[in-house]
Structure 1
Amino acid sequence: MFARGAGSPSCRGACVHGCVHRGAAALPAAGCPGPSGGPAAACGMSRLLGGTLERVCKAVLLLCLLHFLVAVILYFDVYAQHLAFFSRFSARGPARALHPAASSSTNFSRPNATAPSSGLPEAPSARPGPTAPVLPPCPDSPPGLVGRLLIEFTSPMPLERVQRENPGVLLGGRYTPPDCTPAQTVAVIIPFRHREHHLRYWLHYLHPILRRQRLRYGVYVINQHGEDTFNRAKLLNVGFLEALKEDATYDCFIFSDVDLVPMDDRNLYRCGDQPRHFAIAMDKFGFRLPYAGYFGGVSGLSKAQFLRINGFPNEYWGWGGEDDDIFNRISLTGMKISRPDIRIGRYRMIKHDRDKHNEPNPQRFTKIQNTKLTMKRDGIGSVRYQVLEVSRQPLFTNITVDIGRPPSWPPRG
């Protein structure tokens, strides 16, 4: 019996089946001997091994699950870090592109220096600072104009006082409105010699007027060197050329005698479609226009208008005649003179004796009659001079020039 029971396949199969599928706590399968027999010991060993294997499998499974969870956590953590990094990068990158001055490593000392590469379009090297705000155009009728002004020449006028009164005027007499964009850039040209007293009054009154008129302008005093005969028109030609050398954007030129001050700031120092005559009513002439063709004192021409008439004549040495020649040039080129209302175009003249070496030109009447013949060969295209000094003062630019000497006049008779 024992031999048959021990060798029975059914007992071995039942034992294995019971060990594997019911675990260590399962009862022996039917027909399996009790614990006292040899086969029972083998069956118990099988149950023990099965239970151990099951625990190992569970442990491995738990380790796998733990590893998976750790991997998932690390993945999302790294993803979050990358997302935060690129978010900060995107926030900072455009700011550097729009405001390159914020980067301490940006070098603007060289024309081609650029900001460090960030993968974004680099800011243009010609704009080293933040983009300037776009200002509106200056109004045609500037606010803040006073109208009729009280002009006096009695109290002393030191340059230091004039400088304190005009803190916004830059070196060389340059000014730009801070709150709007002017339509023109104006060069004010003053022919000059030995008139320092008059110049101080002119600067005292004109700088505040021009600033209230919202002009972008520069003041140029063209000082004739030496004591030879004065030549106003030639000095004005020199001023036109020298102003453009300093700033090629000048497109309006105001030619003003140093002893004339406007009495109304509504007389706007601008250029228009036609040449402009500003000083139409001087106290010297009883606040009337002396004659219809008068173009003296203060006038204005655009760059195109000035070149169209070949500038001013160079051969009017001494007092008188050049303004009438200029009027003829304007008429001969098909242009007309524009003027302000006579109530606005009023001027006061600083009284003075006639300058030495500025005597009336005895040939002026003959020259005026020949403007049509001379204007093409005598003008801005033929002016000859030598610049001796350029000095940028707090309120104006002084340009001292040698314009040569007048030819010997033949005796009248």
Structure 2
Amino acid sequence: MSRLMLGRTLERVCKVVLLLCLIHFLIMMILYFDVYSQRFDIFSRFNNGRGTNNSRGPHHYYYNYSSGRPNATFPSYLPAIDQLPPSARPEANRTRPTPKPVLPCPEAPPGLVGRLLIEFSSQMTMEKVQRENPSVTDGGRYTPPDCRPKQKVAIIIPFRHRDHHLKFWLHYLHPILRRQKIDYGVYIINQLGEDTFNRAKLLNVGYTEALRDTEYDCFIFSDVDLIPMDDRNLYHCYDQPRHFAIAMDKFGFRLPYAGYFGGVSGLSRKQFLKINGFPNEYWGWGGEDDDIYNRITLNGMKVSRPDVRIGRYRMIKHERDKHNEPNPQRFNKIQNTKNTMRKDGISSLTYRLVSVKKYPLYTNISVEIGKPPPRPNRG
């Protein structure tokens, strides 16, 4: 009887223990799923913060801003730095280095070499010249990479049938202009057809077409057969109209006369407009340079020139071009500059633009400029 009672007691104790274990297991499972659900909620918030369509409202970052470090309760669920708002990112408070300002180009560029050896006997090709000037971009454009020039310079060359001369001009002038720290573009103004050549009118065309390309404020007008012998003869504009080619070899390296303004000259945009540009009615060789000199002096300006030792030029020898014979009317026209300069100039320019082509070393502008008026009968 006592054994039976003992067995029943042990059976009841085992059932109680088993029931307690079951209750304990249920409690543990409830606690486990409760914690798991909290963690899942954290992940869902974190992931929703990354998306573009967050329907759960503002994103909350688990970050202890008062202590300056992440909250210790959830260290593994903090967002990455690139997910923080800009104001909360560490680099937001750093001082970024300011870019180094580009200084103005010096008045006397340090890379100039002075007197140059100029010769025209070697073989010259456009391919060679292009290899020599890799930093010159299409259209003959160049800007110094290490300083800020004060002017944008358009170099205007009147042209017809002078390809041989052009190769030498590009060969010598591009390196000179780069050493001078000039921001420039080269424009070849090609007169089509075989009618009488008109240098001054082509220069007016060059001024007009260059401004359609870029806002230049300085214009250098150069014959294609003249090469400077000293790179200190700086190709930019001055306070007064500039005459660069003051000592050519064909004149014994002297100025032929006081009013000479031929070969290579430069005017700012303001100076050019003040004289109404150049005359359009000088057909054939000669006279237009003297007319331009008269326009300058009649408008209260003076011609500036470099030192005679610096303004030396060599000319490529050649025969006189066909259809560019001396103009027999040039002397009479020069005497009437005061009466003609207001009505004959950039304000009265007419021409037909045929093509504009940008080559690696220059821009070629081909135009038709018409024919000279018939000469009056004598007697």
Question: Which interval holds the TM-score relative to the shorter structure?
Answer: 0.7 to 0.9
The one-letter amino acid of 1:256's match is: S
Higher relative contact order, structure no. (Cα contacts within 8 Å, ≥ 6 residues apart) = 2
Q: 1:132 to 1:394 in 2, by over 3 A?
A: farther
Q: Are 1:175 and 2:173 counterparts?
A: no
| 8 Å contact kept, 2:220–2:265 | yes
Q: 1:90 to 1:345 in 2, by over 3 A?
A: farther
Q: 2:74 and 2:86 mapped to 1: Cα distance?
A: 16
The one-letter amino acid of 1:283's match is: D
The one-letter amino acid of 1:396's match is: Y
Aligned to 1:238: 205
Aligned to 1:86: 84
Q: 1:76 to 1:393 in 2, by over 3 A?
A: same
Unmatched tracts of structure 1, length 5 or more: 1-62, 99-130
By how many angstroms is 1:151 displaced?
A: 0.2
| 8 Å contact kept, 2:229–2:314 | yes
Q: 2:347 and 2:304 mapped to 1: Cα distance?
A: 26
The one-letter amino acid of 2:312's match is: R
Work out which of the residue numbers 106, 124, 131 in structure 2 matches 1:139: 106
Report the 3-state secondary structure (helix = DSSP H, G, I; strand = E; otherwise coil) of the residue aligned with 2:354: strand
Q: Are 1:367 and 2:364 counterparts?
A: no
By how many angstroms is 1:75 displaced?
A: 6.5
Matches within 5 A, 1:5-404: 77=73, 81=78, 86=84, 90-91=88-89, 134-248=101-215, 250-404=216-370
Unmatched tracts of structure 2, length 5 or more: 1-30, 39-61, 65-69
By how many angstroms is 1:171 displaced?
A: 0.5
- Select between 180-189 and 81-90 the one with higher mean Cα deviation: 81-90
By how many angstroms is 1:409 displaced?
A: 1.1
Q: 1:135 and 1:359 mapped to 2: Cα distance?
A: 50
Q: What is the aligned-residue identity percentage?
A: 70
Q: 1:193 and 1:397 mapped to 2: Cα distance?
A: 14
Q: 1:366 to 1:88 in 2, by over 3 A?
A: closer
Report the 3-state secondary structure (helix = DSSP H, G, I; strand = E; otherwise coil) of the residue aligned with 1:381: helix
Q: 1:271 and 1:410 mapped to 2: Cα distance?
A: 40
The one-letter amino acid of 2:119's match is: E
Report the 3-state secondary structure (helix = DSSP H, G, I; strand = E; otherwise coil) of the residue aligned with 1:359: coil
By how many angstroms is 1:89 displaced?
A: 6.9
Q: 1:412 and 1:309 mapped to 2: Cα distance?
A: 32
Q: 1:156 to 1:372 in 2, by over 3 A?
A: same
Report the 3-state secondary structure (helix = DSSP H, G, I; strand = E; otherwise coil) of the residue aligned with 2:78: helix
Q: 1:267 to 1:75 in 2, by over 3 A?
A: closer
Q: 2:148 and 2:224 mapped to 1: Cα distance?
A: 28
Q: 1:358 to 1:83 in 2, by over 3 A?
A: closer
By how many angstroms is 1:410 displaced?
A: 1.8
Report the 3-state secondary structure (helix = DSSP H, G, I; strand = E; otherwise coil) of the residue aligned with 2:150: coil
Give the root-mean-square deviation of aligned CA atoms.
2.7
Residue by residue over 1:123-157, the C-alpha shift from the partner in whole angstroms, topping out at 9 and shown as x without a partner, is xxxxxxxx986311100000110100000001110
Aligned to 2:48: none
The runs of at least 4 aligned residues of structure 1 exceeding 6 Å deviation read: 72-75, 92-95
Q: 1:412 and 1:132 mapped to 2: Cα distance?
A: 72
Report the 3-state secondary structure (helix = DSSP H, G, I; strand = E; otherwise coil) of the residue aligned with 1:318: coil
Q: 1:202 to 1:215 in 2, by over 3 A?
A: same
The one-letter amino acid of 1:298's match is: V
Q: 2:80 and 2:369 mapped to 1: Cα distance?
A: 74
Q: 1:402 to 1:132 in 2, by over 3 A?
A: farther
By how many angstroms is 1:77 displaced?
A: 4.0
Q: 2:90 and 2:173 mapped to 1: Cα distance?
A: 49
Aligned to 1:117: none
Q: 1:379 to 1:78 in 2, by over 3 A?
A: farther
Q: 2:201 and 2:92 mapped to 1: Cα distance?
A: 55
| 8 Å contact kept, 2:86–2:92 | no
Q: 1:201 and 1:369 mapped to 2: Cα distance?
A: 36
Aligned to 1:49: none
Q: 2:110 and 2:325 mapped to 1: Cα distance?
A: 43
Q: 1:313 and 1:371 mapped to 2: Cα distance?
A: 9
Report the 3-state secondary structure (helix = DSSP H, G, I; strand = E; otherwise coil) of the residue aligned with 1:330: helix
**TM-score of the aligned structures, taking structure 1 as reference length:** 0.71
Q: Are 1:405 and 2:348 counterparts?
A: no
